Structure 1
């Protein structure tokens, strides 16, 4: 019996290497290649910011075509939906330096002063990553429009068909989120307050009508709180 057991053990020991050689090589699953996580940009939330730029009126405008410096503040709320679309509302105020310019086309000469512009607008944009391309439009308001005229250097009294304080505005721009809570923007905005007609004053200007508008170009920054985002 002992001889049989020893013989069996010896046979198994001899066959084990050959059996192991016939087994397939053991395989190990490869770890997936590392990919850096993509940054997630969410435009939903409140923001406040400031802007600077320039304003100029058209050739047929009371303000003439001189460029004036402007600066101001803005604030609003955006909501991102359907992955890439952004809708929001914004309130903006701008102060302008100097006078509106001298209207060279008026026979009596004019001096126009309107040094504040404001707007309440809706915004609709399309976002891809950190960039947002948007359009805006809504209600526009300005301070009282002061119009003075002179003849041969002597001031004369003029009257118009209204103060033209309210109007509409349209515009658009590009905003870029360069840090977690910060974005920069470049924007064009047009303000239209209708037409002004001279109802009284020198006979050479009574009945003359001019467009009341402003073109503005602005750059600015926004701080985004992300509340609700």
Structure 2
């Protein structure tokens, strides 16, 4: 998992290090006497990397009724993108973007006895329109919507496989800011949902959807030629002192339901997606008007529900809900670079807790209850000034339990539950 997190955050680390060195070099440059806003109209190309958390709807033909699972997997992703934007006022930008993203999401929900993996999501390409608002002349917050194609491979029969692709809808939000010259940095959270299932010759159905959180760098041709729309420079934001705020979130969660020492059990991980919200408080130190270090505490409502249709119960109408990830909290360190006088690009990481509830109605002998599991949290984001006191932020965050919940079922200490969570967030902060 450490390898996975290192790859997933590589793009964010590259942004911070590149921006720091370039901004340091710019300190010796002559100060411009007139302000010229960058030009957002034109072509651009770039690279991106991050993390995907995927859900695979899996319908297994069975008697007397088919079993409908929702399995999960997560992995690092990387890719390229390019497009064209048109700035049609001092505040609004619209454009079209193409991208290709490579990933490896092998869904392997069984300990043994059946094919593993049952399916793989290998890559995707997309064409999306995006519309954005310039919070400052150098920083764009945007939404996107369009078409995607998901390339996948699935088991077919006892030993064969079938390959193909399925169409999907792609929607997301992001923030992009100039670092220096023609180079911009971005943070995005994108949701991709297949419009129909991938069905094999033996009537197995595979329905993928996933959340991708990534960071990227783009080169914008002609950006320093100056905008055709007059704009005033944004006031410098004092990224120092106390702040507090709130956020809305969309998350993809996964949880194991591992039956210990059972070689043919369905272990998952099982998937759940959920809307949530939360709040945070923190304190930042501004160093040399360029670097920011600080600490932040947060709490978030998640309510991600996990189901196993195989149940572990022979009772008619028995519940399939085995657990709910109710909430998370975290205390993190933040480090960042002031990319423009009003925009901060940052990374964060620290200790977390995940509040997990095991459903007593699912497990035998009334085993269950709620436990807060030890975890860690890492993430990256872009924060920009809306006013002298108010900032807007978009960030991606990954939270994973380092502890597990051990439960009895038909035997004591028989089942292990261990969750993780990938989240895209948009939030507001007030700086005192």
TM-score (norm 2): 0.38
What does residue 187 of structure 2 align with? 186
1-structure distance, mates of 2:81, 2:139: 19
The 1:96/1:199 distance shift into structure 2, 3 A limit, reads closer
| 1:35-50 matches, cutoff 5 A | 36-50=33-47
Residues 1:218 and 2:218 aligned together: no
- Following superposition, the deviation at residue 67 of structure 1 comes to 1.1
The 1:224/1:198 distance shift into structure 2, 3 A limit, reads closer
Instruction: Choose the corresponding residue for 1:70, options 71, 77, 80.
Output: 77
Residues 1:133 and 2:141 aligned together: yes
Higher strand share: 2
Residues 1:100 and 2:106 aligned together: yes
The 1:92/1:63 distance shift into structure 2, 3 A limit, reads farther
Task: Extract unaligned runs of 5+ from structure 2.
Answer: 1-31, 59-68, 228-432
2-structure distance, mates of 1:117, 1:198: 18
- Following superposition, the deviation at residue 193 of structure 1 comes to 1.3
The 1:221/1:79 distance shift into structure 2, 3 A limit, reads same
Larger relative contact order (Cα-Cα within 8 Å, sequence gap ≥ 6): 1
2-structure distance, mates of 1:188, 1:197: 25
2-structure distance, mates of 1:211, 1:142: 10
What does residue 146 of structure 1 align with? 153
- Following superposition, the deviation at residue 52 of structure 1 comes to 0.5
CA contact (8 A) 2:165 2:198 kept: no
Name the SS for the 1:70 alignment partner. Answer: strand
Query: Across the two proteins, how many residue pairs are aligned to each other?
Result: 181
CA contact (8 A) 2:119 2:155 kept: yes
- Following superposition, the deviation at residue 66 of structure 1 comes to 1.8
TM-score (norm 1): 0.67
CA contact (8 A) 1:63 1:102 kept: no
1-structure distance, mates of 2:177, 2:199: 45
Q: Which runs of 4+ in 1 moved over 6 A?
A: none
- Following superposition, the deviation at residue 146 of structure 1 comes to 1.3
What does residue 79 of structure 1 align with? 86
1-structure distance, mates of 2:201, 2:222: 53
What does residue 48 of structure 2 align with? 51
2-structure distance, mates of 1:59, 1:111: 10
What is the RMSD computed on CA atoms of the aligned residues? 3.1
Q: Deviations over 1:66-108 (max 9, x none)?
A: 21111110000111112110000000001114x422145xx95
CA contact (8 A) 2:100 2:123 kept: yes
CA contact (8 A) 2:141 2:175 kept: yes
**Worse-matched range after superposition: 35-44 or 112-121:** 35-44
Structure showing greater Rg = 1
